[in-house]
Each structure stands twice: as structure tokens, then as C-alpha cells.
Amino acid sequence: MSSLVTPTANPNKRRHQDMMKLMMSDYEVLIPDESCMHDFYVKFDGPPETPYENGSWKIHVTLPADYPFKSPSIGFKNRMFHPNVDDISGSVCLDVINQTWSPMFNLVNIFEQFLPQLLRYPNPTDPLNGEAAALLMRDPDAYNLRIRDHVRQYASAKIDLLGRENDVADDKGKERDSRAACVDVSGTSPGGVAELDLMEGTAEAEEDDGNESDISEMSSD
């Protein structure tokens, strides 16, 4: 298990150190844009001896500008059934992260300690997924069966960090633009991956003479 580290007064240096440790670990890591090292994806396997065992998830991590003094935002890209994970965006409850997070933690700790603990010991009193929380409190056995069903449907296929076919947002007909996180890093709060979509571009199509269409693209860059 990864050891804890001493926080440093230089956040940029600390981010770089933690990224190097994560990339040298046994976890698969994808950084879509190397100029945007604070925004990346990691393959995460469900912890053994839990209903999540044999499942694999693509995790989206974004580091705020003042990491490690503020917690990262963490989101599941393929669907996760859990009281503290939003079923639509896949983001993990901010309160749950902040209750656990310490500047002493590094990025490897997220995948070795924080996420396994989150899946083993959900908090149904502070839910993002009310259905999961209610089922856990009403019928734990049915809750575990529902998790296993979700794992079979959404987390049993091989995770391709470069692929987009299993993304939660794509299931809802939305697209994510990782550039938004790069532009917004100085002001990004760790409140959830969904916040990173605010700077996506939009497109409008207009018909011309019934045969031709002009497409104008607007970008918030």
C-alpha cells in the first residue's frame, strides 16, 4: 500500500510528484493532453469480496489548482450503482470526499484506499443516488443483487481508456470536452466532474433555399 506523503508549499511540484507516482504504479493511466496534466483517466477494478468484484471502471480525475490542499474531483465514466455516486454524471459526492481527504494523501491513495473504502462502506444518509440509498437501508440483500446486475451490464467489459462508448455522459447523449478542464483549472472546484462541461461548444444548423445548410460553430474558448 502506498505511504502517505508530507504536503509541500508548492502545489505544482506536488501535483507533478503525485502524477509520477501514479504513472509508475500498477494502475493504467491516460492523460489525453500532456499540457493538461491535472485532467486524466485511470482504470479501477472493484474491490474483492464486495458486490463490485470483477467490475472495472474508467475513473475521471481532475486536480484543482490548489491540490493537495483541496480534494480532487472523481467521477465514474461507466455507470456505478452506489448511494454516494450520481447515477447520471458519475461524480462522487463532494462531502464524502472531503470527510476523508487530507493533504497527506497522494493520488495512488485514491485508488488503493479511498475508492475501495467508499464502495465497501457507503453512506446512505448523504446520498447522490436516492434509489440506491433507500434500497440499501430497506433491503441490503436486494441492494447487493442490484449492484451485481449493474456490474454485469456496465462494468464487465474490458476498459479502454481511449474509448468513449461506455461513458456515462455519452449514454445521456452528451459529449465531454477535456479542454474545458484545462481552461478552467484556476477556478475549478472539486465539486464533481459535471462542472467541467460548462465550456463545451455548441453548434446550430440553418437551412438555405431548402437544399444547403450553413453550420456555424461557437466556442467559449
Q: How far apart are CA 170 and CA 176, in angstroms?
A: 8
For residue 221, the surrounding DSSP H or E stretch is: none
Which amino acid, 194? A
Q: Which of 22, 59, 85, 93 is catalytic?
A: 93
Q: Considering only CA atoms, which of 66, 75, 74 is closest in space to residue 103?
A: 66
Which amino acid, 104? M
Angle at which helix 130-138 crosses helix 140-154, to 10 degrees, equals 140
Which amino acid, 164? R
Pairing of strands 29-30, 202-208: unpaired
Q: Considering only CA atoms, which of 157, 201, 197, 165 is closest in space to residue 178?
A: 197
Q: How far apart are CA 138 and CA 121, in angstroms?
A: 16
Q: Is 145 helix (H, G, I), strand (E, B) or coil?
A: helix
Active site residue 182: no
Number of H helices, E strands in the chain: 8, 6
Active site residues: 93
